[in-house]
Each structure stands twice: as structure tokens, then as C-alpha cells.
Amino acid sequence: MNDKVFSKPIKKQFEFDEEVAAVFDDMLNRSVPFYEQSQEMTKFFALKALDNGGIMYDLGCSTASLLISIAKQLSSARLVGLDNSDAMLEQARKKAHAFNVDIELLNADILEYDYEQADVFVSSYTLQFIRPLVREELVKKIADALKKDGVFIFSEKVISHHPKLNKDLIEHYYDFKKKQGYSEFEISQKREALENVLVPYSEDENIKMAKNAGFSHCEVVFRWANFATFIAIK
């Protein structure tokens, strides 16, 4: 289904409700540059870490596209998707059933969930929706739950602390969205809905956060303008 969520005047801040869940896959592919490629890279590193089985958590799994893709290639691992949106999980369960894959989908608060020792954590554009102070606590919790040499693969919208460069990066991104068929009105409506809901860090701030949480290494493995995929190693 095509994303038309912001083609009408907004009445509330952005949330992952039924309306968004119904079009979320289209929204991602048209709103996040090279989303498919970054997810393929995330899958590659996840599969490497799960080569001998183990546990993977997808935090804010939304419609579970990544987990389903991994499950289709790997049957020996336990794949767990956590999300706090019933609407998203409903879409995820329908897709998992259609593809006949064995994944666990749970409605849970990723800040409070009691994680088992895992090999992989994934967070695709989820951390940016968590308040900064709590965000750093979550990354510490992820590091503590990972086995030695386990990996945390996360994708985030990023900012530049150089004012002009940051402005130009945003302009370039909006040009991308226009090419995907979004109107100026839709772009401005979504920007307003996300204000104070999505709080991005810079590339350096994300890396520093991961290292402060206990990861031995963290670097960017994919970046397009103000979107980046990181891998942090325990």
C-alpha cells in the first residue's frame, strides 16, 4: 500500500499507529535512502555472527522484514523481534505467516525487557526515537547482554554539527524524497510531526555512545548523507 499518511494536515505527533503500520514498508523504502542495501548489509553481519546458532534481538522490529529475511536463510538461530506497537506486530505476524518462518514477535518495552545472553542485537532507526539519557542506558544494557565478540548493528539518521553542512544534507535528503514522489506538503507535514519525537545524534556521538557503553569497537559501515549504519563489537 502506498504511503499517503502526510498528504493531509497532521493532527498529532508522529506515532506508529494503524495508519502508519499499513504503509510502513512503502514509507521506509521511499523515505530512507538505500534502505534495502543497508538492511542487506545488516543481514550479512547478523548471519556471520549467527553462523553456529544463537540469539538475535531486533529492537523496534516494526513489520519484521529483516527477521523474516534472515529466517529464510537460517533455521538454527532464535530470532526475536520486539516492538511496542500492536499495529506493527499485527503486520509482522501476517508477513511471518505468509512466508512460513519461525520468529518470535513480542510486544515489549525494549528499555525494560529482560534480555538473554545474545549474539546479535539490531536496531534499525529505533534509537533516534528514544530520549538521549535513556538511549545511552539502553545501549549499555545491550552491551551487557551481548556475548564476547557479539555485535550490535544499528542504523540512524545523523546530524552534522557544522550548520551549513547540516542544512545542505537536509536539503539533499528532501530532494531525494521528492524524487520518490513525496510532495513539498507531505515533506513539511512529516517534518512537523517528527519534531521533538526523532532526536538524532552525529556520527561521532553515536560511536562515543557505543564505546562508553562498553563496546570495544564501533564504526560506520554504510552512509548516505545524513543516514548511517554502524556496527559495534563487544
pLDDT along the chain (234 residues), means of 10: 52 55 70 92 96 93 95 94 93 93 96 97 96 95 97 97 96 91 78 78 98 98 97 98
Closest CA to 51 of 149, 157, 129, 137: 149
- Which runs of consecutive H residues, i.e. helices, occur in 50-152? 65-71, 86-99, 132-145
Long-range contacts from 88-94, C-beta under 8 angstroms, 24+ separation:
88/16, 88/21, 88/24, 88/61, 88/62, 88/63, 90/21, 91/21, 91/22, 91/24, 91/62, 91/63, 92/61, 92/62, 92/63, 92/64, 92/67
Residue 219 and residue 150 in contact, taking contact as beta carbons nearer than 8 Å: no
Q: How far apart are CA 121 and CA 139, in angstroms?
A: 10
Burial bucket for residue 82 (CB in 10 Å: 0-12, 13-18, 19+): buried
Residue 122 and residue 146 in contact, taking contact as beta carbons nearer than 8 Å: no
Grid cell 518495552 in the structure block, residue:
109
For the whole model, what pTM was predicted? Answer: 0.88
Q: How far apart are CA 31 and CA 20, in angstroms?
A: 13
CA-only gyration radius of the chain, Å: 17
In this structure, what DSSP letter does residue 229 have? Answer: E
Residue 36 and residue 63 in contact, taking contact as beta carbons nearer than 8 Å: no
Predicted pLDDT at 183 = 78
Q: How far apart are CA 62 and CA 25, in angstroms?
A: 9
212: Cβ contacts below 8 Å, ≥ 6 apart: 136, 140
Determine which helix (DSSP H) or strand (DSSP E) holds 231, and give its type and residue range: strand 227-233
Residue-range domains of the chain with CATH: 18-233 (3.40.50.150)
Q: What angle do CA 135, 228, 86 make, to 5 degrees?
A: 55
Predicted pLDDT at 14 = 47
